[in-house]
Structure 1
Amino acid sequence: MTIIRKAREEEQDTIAVFQQNLAQETENLQLDPETVAKGVREVFLHPEMGYYLIAEADGKVIASSLVLYEWSDWRNGKVLWVHSVFVDAGYRGQGVFKSIYLHLKNEVLQNETLKGIRLYVDKTNQPAQEVYLRIGMSREHYELFEWMP
């Protein structure tokens, strides 16, 4: 049975490793472990930014996702942005992300200040896009633009 819950501070190292693995797998990027560890720690130090959700099976952390808040003046509420989704390779294809998504969807439905869920995905990550469509998410009319020095 998979349990979805907010991550605890003592799980930071696992989350940081997951993030390094994610960058390597999806974008062939080698991230600096110290920088990632500090970045993960910041979320725990500043919960107003968001939080990590983890999936646990048999007492083992098998997935993590960063959930950040976006204020929507159009909706007068918060939109949950799902970032940095990583599922351990041995647990992929078993509905782990779907469980995370349904957990978040339930949060939105039970909290009137939450207005929806958004995420972005690398254009080349077809397997992830197929999962998102299969669980009922839709491609919207927005394009993502960014500037990263």
Structure 2
Amino acid sequence: MEKSLCIRRVTSEDMNTLADFNTAMALETENRLLDKDITLKGAAALLENPAYGFYLMAEYNGEVAGSLMVTYEWSDWRNKLYWWVQSVYIKPEFRRKGIFRAMYESLTEQAKEAGNVCGLRLYVEKENKRAQTTYAELGMTPSHYLMYETDL
């Protein structure tokens, strides 16, 4: 039996799945409990405001296997956008099957086709060595920037 993989943009029918993925990812990576209602509204807000970004969904043999979110950062130095890859989640039973690689490759092609994208960026938990290895295998390199934040 041949395996099939489909990478697509999300639709409004995917909102519950995205909220489930976001809550699962936060618990797994940061041991944080998120309010599913808030994550549901957050996913829907992105879909309703395409200027903020978009989501990709991966289906493996017809079953939803993972997703990622892209948001935009304007670079005045380059006069183009950076696409930030965020909220990456692959269901545990689908990990190490090339699903994220396929999503990343699809995203890279979409960015090239858009014509106004100068690069892809993402952030990763310092302790998440497995994800860091995956990103390095795709040709990504650690940035020389540190990230600082203030919660409001």
TM-score by length of 1: 0.96
Match of 1:84 among 78, 83, 87: 87
Q: Do residues 44 (structure 1) and 44 (structure 2) align?
A: no
Q: Do residues 65 (structure 1) and 65 (structure 2) align?
A: no
Find the counterpart in structure 2 of residue 140 from structure 1: 143
How far apart, CA to CA, are the structure 2 residues paired with 1:7 and 1:27? 25
Find the counterpart in structure 2 of residue 125 from structure 1: 128
Q: Do residues 100 (structure 1) and 103 (structure 2) align?
A: yes
How far apart, CA to CA, are the structure 2 residues paired with 1:49 and 1:111? 15
* AA of the residue aligned to 1:107: Q
Identity %: 38
RMSD: 0.9
How far apart, CA to CA, are the structure 2 residues paired with 1:116 and 1:95? 22
Match of 1:13 among 12, 16, 37: 16
Find the counterpart in structure 1 of residue 118 from structure 2: 115
Structure 1 gap ranges (5+): none
How far apart, CA to CA, are the structure 2 residues paired with 1:111 and 1:67? 14
TM-score by length of 2: 0.94
Match of 1:32 among 11, 32, 35: 35
Kindly tell me the number of residue pairs found equivalent between the two proteins. Answer: 149
Structure 2 gap ranges (5+): none
Find the counterpart in structure 1 of residue 6 from structure 2: 3
